[in-house]
């Protein structure tokens, strides 16, 4: 005979006892942990609180790991993973993001970002800002959303004015005589002196791909390798953030401008920095007119 202490009942066999425990409301068993709870609520709270279980209380559904559970929350519920809170509907979650200072949230787009810098970049994009920063290049007339976008356009060599990355370096060298945004130790000085130019030939083929002998990156085609060599990838990082506590180096002026506009280090707050960057763009305008 098999005996159930909780119910004070005898059963003909252990199998009958197991069936009783499985069917009875007085037994609520966690098979994984081999714990028998007197109520369903007790078992449910065990599922919720135990680290051995990945359980959605709202759906009464188990998952293999925490990642699967979080994915389920995101897909099936209005859930804030950072605050670990559920909401009744999309509007409730939207209001939570909008009012909380713990989230980087674009209210008009209803988009959540991982960092403040990502949100700032989004807010500075053409989705939210008009293209009212005009290219200073002669014969161009294109508009951009930011100063960094203008400088990137000029550096690309695609501007009708003929401005290039190398010409911008000449302007910066002439204008930034106090080395506020340039590192003199990395500058190439002297008239007519420019950064070295690298051109790959068919000999760059290593048997499986075209290989850059400077960084050993590989490319499927020779033009792709030469585009890589023509990029700022291997140029000296001559530009530097003027903030003493930052001093991050960059290989292009547009990258420095993006750093300033991102507000990551606070250098954008200084009027001298803004005036200096405006002066540089003005210098380019005079050079291309």
Structural domain includes residue 87: no
- Domain holding 61, by residue range, is 2-76
Is the sign of the CA dihedral 223, 228, 232, 236 positive or negative?
negative
Same domain as 193, residue 69: no
Which pLDDT tens digit goes with each residue over 37-57?
988 888 899 988 888 999 998
Q: Are residues 143 and 51 in the same domain?
A: no
145 and 280 housed in the same domain: yes
Across the 289 residues of the chain, what is the mean pLDDT of every consecutive 10-residue run?
A: 83 83 83 87 89 90 91 90 88 92 91 87 85 88 89 90 88 85 72 67 93 91 90 86 90 89 80 74 59
Last residue of a domain, one of 76, 97, 122: 76
Rounded to 5°, the CA angle 179-138-173 comes to 15
CB under 8 Å to 269, separation ≥6 — which residues? none
Check residue 55 and give its pLDDT. Answer: 92
Domain boundary (48, 76, 104) is at 76
Report whether 75 contacts 56 (CB < 8 A): no
DSSP string, the chain: -EEETTTTEEESSHHHHHHHHHH-TT-EEETTTTEEESSHHHHHHHHHH-TT--EETTTTEE-SSHHHHHHHHHHHSEEETTTTEEESSHHHHHHHHHH-TTSEEETTTTEEESSHHHHHHHHTSTTTS-S-EE--STTT--EESSHHHHHHHHHTT-STT---HHHHHHHHHHH-TT-SSB-TTT---STT---------GGGB-SSSEE-TTT--EESSHHHHHHHHHSGGGS---EE-S-TTT--EESSHHHHHHHHHHTSSSGGG-HHHHHHHHHHHHHHHHHH-
Q: What is the CA radius of gyration of the chain?
A: 32
My answer on whether 72 and 147 are in the same domain is no
The tally of domains found in the chain comes to 2
Could you tell me the pTM of the whole model?
A: 0.55
Q: Which contacts of 12-19 are long-range, i.e. CB under 8 A and separated by 24 or more positions?
A: none
CB atoms within 10 A of CB 125: 12
CA–CA separation, 257 vs 152, rounded Å? Answer: 9
Q: pLDDT tens-digit profile of 77-122?
A: 999 988 888 998 999 999 999 998 889 999 999 999 998 888 888 8
Write down which residue in 53, 76, 99 finishes a domain. Answer: 76
Is residue 97 in a domain?
A: no
Contacts of residue 17, Cβ cutoff 8 Å, sequence gap at least 6: 2, 3, 4, 11
Nearest alpha carbon to residue 133 among 124, 146, 120: 146
Confidence at residue 172, expressed as pLDDT on a 0 to 100 scale? 87
Predicted confidence at residue 192, as pLDDT, reads 44
Q: Hey, what are 25's tokens?
A: 């409301």
Residue 107 lies in a domain: no
Q: Is residue 108 part of a domain?
A: no
20 and 158 inside one domain: no
Distance of alpha carbon 121 from alpha carbon 261, whole angstroms: 8
One domain for residues 63 and 137: no
pLDDT at 28: 87
Identify whether 95 is part of a domain: no
Plot region of 84 (φ>0 → left; ψ -120 to 50 → alpha; else → beta): left
């Amino acid at each position: 005979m098999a005996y159930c202490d909780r119910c004070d009942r005898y059963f003909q066999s252990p199998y009958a006892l197991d069936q009783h425990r499985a069917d009875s409301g007085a037994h609520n068993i966690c098979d994984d942990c081999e714990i028998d709870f007197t109520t369903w609520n007790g078992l449910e709270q065990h599922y919720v609180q135990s680290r051995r279980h990945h359980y959605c209380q709202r759906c009464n559904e188990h998952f293999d790991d925490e990642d699967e559970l979080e994915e389920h929350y995101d897909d099936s519920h209005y859930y804030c993973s950072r605050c670990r809170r559920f909401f009744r509907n999309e509007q409730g979650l939207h209001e939570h993001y909008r009012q909380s200072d713990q989230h980087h949230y674009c209210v008009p787009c209803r988009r959540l970002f991982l960092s403040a810098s990502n949100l700032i970049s989004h807010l500075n994009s053409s989705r939210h800002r008009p293209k009212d920063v005009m290219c200073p290049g002669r014969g161009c007339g294109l508009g951009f959303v930011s100063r960094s976008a203008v400088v990137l356009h000029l550096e690309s060599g695609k501007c009708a004015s003929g401005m290039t990355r190398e010409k911008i370096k000449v302007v910066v060298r002439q204008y930034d005589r106090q080395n506020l945004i340039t590192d003199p130790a990395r500058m190439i000085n002297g008239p007519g002196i420019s950064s070295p130019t690298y051109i790959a030939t068919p000999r760059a083929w290593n048997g499986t791909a075209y290989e850059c002998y400077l960084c050993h990156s590989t490319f499927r085609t020779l033009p792709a390798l030469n585009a890589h060599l023509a990029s700022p990838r291997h140029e000296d990082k001559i530009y530097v953030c003027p903030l003493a506590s930052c001093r991050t180096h960059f290989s292009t002026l547009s990258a420095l401008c993006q750093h300033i506009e991102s507000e990551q280090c606070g250098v954008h707050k200084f009027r001298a920095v803004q005036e200096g960057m405006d002066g540089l763009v003005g210098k380019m305008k005079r050079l291309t007119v």
